[in-house]
Amino acid sequence: MTGSLPPDWTSWRDRFDVDGYEERWRRLAAAGVDPHGEVGLVQTYEPRSVLDAGCGTGRVAIELAHRGVAVVGVDNDPDMVDVARSKAPELRWIVADLAGLALPDRFDVVVLAGNVIPYVEADRRAAAVDGCARHLAPGGVFVAGFALRPGWPDLADYDAWCAAAGLTLADRWATWDRQPYAGGDYAVSAHVQTATAPSR
Ligand SMILES: C[S@@+](CC[C@H](N)C(=O)[O-])C[C@H]1O[C@@H](n2cnc3c(N)ncnc32)[C@H](O)[C@@H]1O
């Protein structure tokens, strides 16, 4: 997602209804943008299970499921989850805040695609990272990609939230197809669990 991005999720939803969100992805796909770049990267970890955190209308989870991965989608916007559920009723969709998330499951990969972290309310971002990290299976990978723009979290903020959640940076790229990161305005980060956070 590029171009003029609204600063927070409420502004997004003021500008685009859920159909508008879906239509935006259809237009990008028609313009030649691969709508499944995130899935390609996630698959390099050969996960059996993936939590699509901030799943929206299910773009990533549904494609992963088509490729044989066990997925769960979580999002706190019930309208987005309704669309995801209508597209793939056989999958598990949960309306919940990532901050304080408490599912019984653990996942080989937790993925946050499409600027989820910046769209979490500012004072809940650290808790959202921690909530996601708690759902990693041993050896699991936490992958998130988001734009770096004024007013949004920077990578130092993000790495600090990850460190507080017991995660260490393993890789960082400029794109989901793993172009090297060289200080640009978009980053995809992969963190792994190296410590047990004190509260865990
Ligand atoms: C730009 S959309 C990305 C949706 C999907 N991951 C995709 O790539 O198509 C950002 C999503 O983050 C979700 N989100 C924002 N804050 C959240 C929170 N605290 N807990 C769960 N989901 C959240 C929004 O509801 C929205 O669906």
Q: pLDDT at residue 102 above 70?
A: yes
Higher pLDDT, 129 or 17: 129
Quick one: which of 26, 82, 85, 95 has its CA closest to 54?
95
How far apart are the CA of 75 and the centre of ligand 1, in A?
A: 6
How many whole angstroms separate alpha carbon 108 and alpha carbon 154?
A: 26
How far apart are the CA of 93 and the centre of ligand 1, in A?
A: 13
Ligand 1 atom nearest 59 alpha carbon: 9
Q: Show the 3-state SS of the chain.
A: CCCCCCCCHHHHHHHCCHHHHHHHHHHHHHCCCCCCHHHHHHHCCCCCEEEEECCCCCHHHHHHHHCCCEEEEEECCHHHHHHHHHHCCCCEEEECCCCCCCCCCCEEEEEECCCHHHHCCHHHHHHHHHHHHCCEEEEEEEEEEEECCCCCCCHHHHHHHHHHCCEEEEEEECCCCCCECCCCCEEEEEEEECCCCCCC
pLDDT in tens, 136-188: 999 999 999 999 999 999 999 999 999 999 999 999 999 999 999 999 999 99
Q: What is the mean pLDDT of the chain?
A: 91
How far apart are the CA of 46 and the centre of ligand 1, in A?
A: 24
Residue pair 161/129 in contact by the 8 Å Cβ criterion: yes
Please tell me the predicted confidence (pLDDT) of residue 6. 62
Residues touching ligand 1 (Cβ under 6 Å) are 9, 54-56, 59-60, 75-77, 80, 97-99, 113-116, 119-120, 124, 128
How many whole angstroms separate alpha carbon 163 and alpha carbon 159?
A: 6
- How large is the average pLDDT for residues 191-195? 85
